[in-house]
A = this chain, B = another copy of it.
Amino acid sequence: MLADLAAHTHQRSYAEGDTLCHQPDVAHTVWLTMSGWVKLTRETLDGSEAVWDVLGAGHLVGLETLMPDYRYTTRAVAVEPVTTLAISHAALRRITESHPPFALALLGHSLRQQESEQLEIEHRTHQTAPQRIGCFLLRLAKAPISGSMTLNLPFDKGLLAARLGMQPETFSRALARLKQDTGIGLQGAQVTIQDVAQMHKYVCGPCSGSYPCQPCNIEVGG
């Protein structure tokens, strides 16, 4: 089964701004991201762009195309140079249909994503804007429980605001507030968290995830 899958998978790279797939095209490929950030967007009825997610390494793009009618439900665009493993949709479908353990693994993946999205919905209600930024930083850094750390913002602040569901002005105010409340250092894209334990305390109270959070240690995306 793995040999079959490998025979229908090959490495594919994308330059900044390249589109992997358009909604609602019929699927040809499902991607496993290896490096770089991929933005998922949808267009609203009134014509504006809604950012659904920004996915880092280790995510599946286009898995929703295993649902009949096998169409992409988002547009996926490389935010920077991106490398992927591109899997033939037809092969993935055939293998999923004929190998129950593989179908179960994908079901498990999808159910975990659902839980992660429910947590995101919860955060948008129960966390403040500064807490949501702090939460993103801790997950991005796969932060330890204590000590200090330095990390870089992964993409520009406009996209980060959209990923977190904030207007750019709200994001700027919230970042200033986070700095004031927790003493983080900000220099360009570089963020220094002097006291990770204090940041956890500042961020994690209104969250129902496990503590220290497992999703944090797996992925930032959706």
Contacts and interface: CB of A to CB of B under 8 A. Distances in A.
A103 B100 CA distance: 7
Contacts of A187: none
A122 B63 contact: no
B45 A108 contact: no
Interface in A64-118: 64, 66-68, 73, 96-101, 103-104, 106-108, 110-115, 117-118
A206 B47 CA distance: 8
Q: How many copies does the complex hold?
A: 2
B122 A121 contact: no
Q: Helix, strand, loop or mixed for chain A's interface?
A: helix
Interface of A: 42-46, 48, 50, 52-53, 63-64, 66-68, 73, 96-101, 103-104, 106-108, 110-115, 117-118, 120-122, 124-126, 165-166, 204-208, 211, 222
A64 B112 CA distance: 8
Contacts of A48: 126, 206
Contacts of A100: 96-100, 103
Contacts of A205: 44-46
B42 A111 contact: no
Given A97-B104, A117-B118, 9 more contacts: A42-B122, A64-B114, A66-B107, A73-B115, A96-B100, A96-B107, A103-B103, A110-B110, A113-B114
A206 B121 contact: no
A169 to B, nearest CB: 14
A48 B207 CA distance: 9
A22 to B, nearest CB: 14
A45 B106 contact: no
Contacts of A222: 118, 121
Given A104-B96, A111-B63, A122 B207 contact: no
A106 B108 contact: no
A112 B206 contact: no
Contacts of A118: 52-53, 117, 222
